[in-house]
Structure 1
Amino acid sequence: MEAIRNVAIAGASGALGSPVLHALLQSELFNVTVLARQSSQAHFPASVKVICMDYTSVPDLTAALTGQDAVVSVLTTSAMETQIPLIEAAVKAGVKRFLPSEFCANIGNPKAASLPVYHSKLAIHEVLQQQAQNHPHFTYTLIRNGPFLDWSLAYGFFFSLNGGSTPFYDGGERPFSTTTLATIGRAVVEVLRHSEKTRNRAVFVQDLVTTQQKMLAIAQKVTPDRKWTPRDVSTADMETMARDKHANGMNDLTASMGFFCRSVFGKGYGGEFQEVDNKLLGISLKTDADLEELIRGVLSEGH
């Protein structure tokens, strides 16, 4: 495959989209085009070409993607189906590589794949596989990175930031893979650089493997005046609750969290990646000291 030079990104203003756009620009390897909704109020660097469009119009999308080598989708989970016309347009426009909005748990794991919160992502896999089969010029890469390390810390996902009662999912001792937003951005760049070795497959990246217990021990060390009381929460119970809500059409944040926690902390759900592509991508692992620095930073920010 020829080197990828022209890259279009959809969803570039989001929590993950912004770091991915930053990584693409910082690499200085690509000509970057941002695809934005016509109603978007987002602002982008002056050096970036921005095309405002109707995401439901395949002709509009095809025109925008003509001349692009790759499309990176960082659209939100609620907008997964928006990618179907985007993929169709990418194929028509001759795009060589499509990175869908994966960026999640190991949903190649059968248990994780059974969770309804990931079904829209799996539906996109089927579309990509079919298109790649029918059109040999068209390829894809799925990036899996576990929970966003810095983002999840900042929102108190791994432990409550203010002390007091904090949930330990299934005891808080199950190891899981986790990755910062900046590293995910780097992974996108490196996947595009190593296009041949990343074609038509899932790529796994992580900054480190840790546990909730380890994170809380670090938090206690760096803020000895703050006290936490862990309480055990069953991810099996969370999944049951989430499935009940889903069955009744209540796909709210609580339901999503139930499925999410099950995929990260549940036994046999693949929360700890067994094989990663860090070496191929040239991404080194973070150390315990790096993790401590992240936790110290989060705990010192207005808490």
Structure 2
Amino acid sequence: MTRTIRNVALAGASGNVGAQVLKALLAVKEFNVTILSRSPKSFPAGAQIKVVDFTSIEDLSAALMGQDAVIDTTSSPDADTPLRLIESAARAGVYRFITSDFGLDPELPGVYELPVFWRKKASYEAVKKQAAENHMTYTLISCGAFLDWCLSNGFAGLNFQEKTAWIFGDGNNVHPWTTLEEVGKATANVLLHPQETLNRPVYIHSVFMSQNQLFDIAKEVSGGEWTAIYNDMEPILQKALEDLKSGNISDATFVVQIQYCLATKALAHPWERDDNRLVGLEEWEWEKVKALVQDIANKKAV
């Protein structure tokens, strides 16, 4: 039976995704928002704040009593936090749980087989188990790569200051990109459509684009001579997996696995199902993408 969702608890509200989800929840005006926080912090007005012990299922369960939905945007590398949140939500009788996924399509074979996604895989399996055994329902948000975030921090392989590009494979694979703001908006709007988003991934995007297309825009808006390195991602992936097994771990060990996915059509490609309209998004025109790249390029040049 579908329930109207009014009381919403958000975990991870100070993170990149969580801050945008919080902003969108408060903008809807139909939700009573509770922020679950590990310590007292300052958040935007309009939300209740509960300081909870994220290591305690009992404490989390008590904090989630009376909530219709829980949104997990935490990003700790271990699986314990999301698994405790899922179990606590089920114990508290929460109707809808949105997992901290926000990435590629979990239904595509091979995506969750990469170690970088083991936390997401564990959450997906746990929430499906709760849905089968209890009355809790779930939604995942599949958004591809974060467009603005990846451009700003170099994850998209473009260095605006040095005018260098590190290309994944041949750079031609087209896949979804979504801005953090639109991820937040879509996540909030999922809760306005509980039946249509029941027990499944919701597929969103700002744009479908290849890395080369993004690189072309970067060159156009920034000018000057760029240098590009095209990388065979298979041996780079295997080296990262070997480093992981041997304990020689760095941020690059995990970053490479995601970049490998973005270069591989079988693991990242335009969604067959498009939920943009359902959650209030529209696909971007090329000029809008160009304006975003221009803005980021200008900031990097300062």
TM-score range, shorter chain: over 0.9
How many Å separate the matches in 2 of 1:282 and 1:44? 25
Assess, with a 3 A threshold, how the Cα gap between structure 1 residues 276 and 80 changes in structure 2: closer, same or farther. Answer: farther
Matched residue, 1:29 = 30
Matched residue, 2:15 = 14
- 1:280 is paired with a residue whose SS is coil
How far the C-alpha of 1:68 sits from its partner, in A, is 0.4
Q: Does 1:86 align with 2:88?
A: no
Matched residue, 2:130 = 131
Does the 8 Å contact 1:263/1:271 carry over to 2?
no
Matched residue, 1:297 = 295
How far the C-alpha of 1:79 sits from its partner, in A, is 4.4
Does the 8 Å contact 2:105/2:201 carry over to 1?
no
Structure 1 unaligned spans of 5+: none
Does the 8 Å contact 1:144/1:204 carry over to 2?
yes
Does the 8 Å contact 2:165/2:215 carry over to 1?
no
Output the amino acid matched with 2:265: K
How many Å separate the matches in 1 of 2:263 and 2:78? 26
Matched residue, 2:139 = 141
Does the 8 Å contact 2:37/2:52 carry over to 1?
yes
Does the 8 Å contact 1:170/1:265 carry over to 2?
yes
CA RMSD of aligned residues (A): 1.4
Q: Where do 1:170-249 residues align within 5 Å?
A: 170-224=169-223, 226-249=224-247
Output the amino acid matched with 1:71: V
Does the 8 Å contact 1:265/1:271 carry over to 2?
no
Q: Where do 1:24-173 residues align within 5 Å?
A: 24-37=25-38, 40=39, 42-135=41-134, 137-158=135-156, 159-173=158-172
Output the amino acid matched with 1:97: R
How many Å separate the matches in 2 of 1:213 and 1:60? 48
- Report % sequence identity: 34
How many Å separate the matches in 1 of 2:64 and 2:7? 10
Output the amino acid matched with 2:284: K
- 1:281 is paired with a residue whose SS is coil
How many Å separate the matches in 2 of 1:69 and 1:95? 5
Matched residue, 2:271 = 273
How many Å separate the matches in 2 of 1:18 and 1:83? 18
How many Å separate the matches in 1 of 2:154 and 2:40? 28
How many Å separate the matches in 1 of 2:62 and 2:40? 22
Output the amino acid matched with 1:117: V
Residues 59-99 of structure 1: per-residue CA shift (max 9 Å, x gap): 21111101100000000051432111211111111100000
Structure 2 unaligned spans of 5+: none
Does the 8 Å contact 1:235/1:266 carry over to 2?
no
How many Å separate the matches in 2 of 1:193 and 1:94? 19
Bigger mean CA offset, 232-241 vs 284-293: 232-241
- 1:78 is paired with a residue whose SS is coil
Output the amino acid matched with 2:217: I
User: TM-score with structure 2 length normalisation?
Assistant: 0.95
How many Å separate the matches in 2 of 1:249 and 1:27? 45
Does the 8 Å contact 1:219/1:296 carry over to 2?
yes
Assess, with a 3 A threshold, how the Cα gap between structure 1 residues 52 and 209 changes in structure 2: closer, same or farther. Answer: same
- 2:191 is paired with a residue whose SS is helix
Output the amino acid matched with 2:280: G
User: TM-score with structure 1 length normalisation?
Assistant: 0.95
Task: Tell me the number of residue pairs that the alignment of Structure 1 and Structure 2 aligns.
Answer: 299
Bigger mean CA offset, 115-124 vs 163-172: 163-172
Assess, with a 3 A threshold, how the Cα gap between structure 1 residues 222 and 42 changes in structure 2: closer, same or farther. Answer: same
How far the C-alpha of 1:22 sits from its partner, in A, is 0.4
